[in-house]
Amino acid sequence: VFQSWFGFKDIGQASHGGTKEDEILMEQRKNQTVSKLHSILRPFLLRRIKTDVLLDLPPKKEVVVYSGVSKLQAGYAELIEKGVLRDTLVSQGIEQGRTLSQTNKQMNHRKNINHP
């Protein structure tokens, strides 16, 4: 594989399935065009940060609010641990329960807690 990428012995030999010189030159011209456009447009593309634009913006405050687990979430957590959540949901008539994966308990606990 390495030789096919970086081997230059087949350049210009179309009979051996090698690359043509014209193809190489066209590719280099395309790359030069893109590089030239990037250098021209770079001064006009600005990346601004909100604090630079709005100087009177107060600093961000982060408040962490802890909440307990609801009875429904606690019940689902027990079913996840037992590995029977899918069967229980289907037996209750919730057809979307068939798509629930039971192989990753940690992910199911995370879904349960984040989506009451």
Q: Is the four-CA dihedral 42, 47, 53, 55 of positive or negative sign?
A: negative
Collect all residues with Cβ–Cβ distance below 8 Å to 76 and sequence separation of at least 6.
85, 112
Which CA distances in Å does 86 have to 62, 71, 78, 95, 99? 37, 18, 12, 10, 8
Contact at 8 Å (CB) between 49 and 57?
no
Place of tokens 């690359």: 19
Tens of pLDDT along 41-81?
887 777 777 767 777 878 889 999 988 899 999 999 999 99
Which CA distances in Å does 69 have to 17, 65, 77, 88, 89? 66, 13, 10, 20, 20
Tens of pLDDT along 12-23?
555 555 557 778
Average pLDDT, the chain: 81
62's tokens? 């982060």
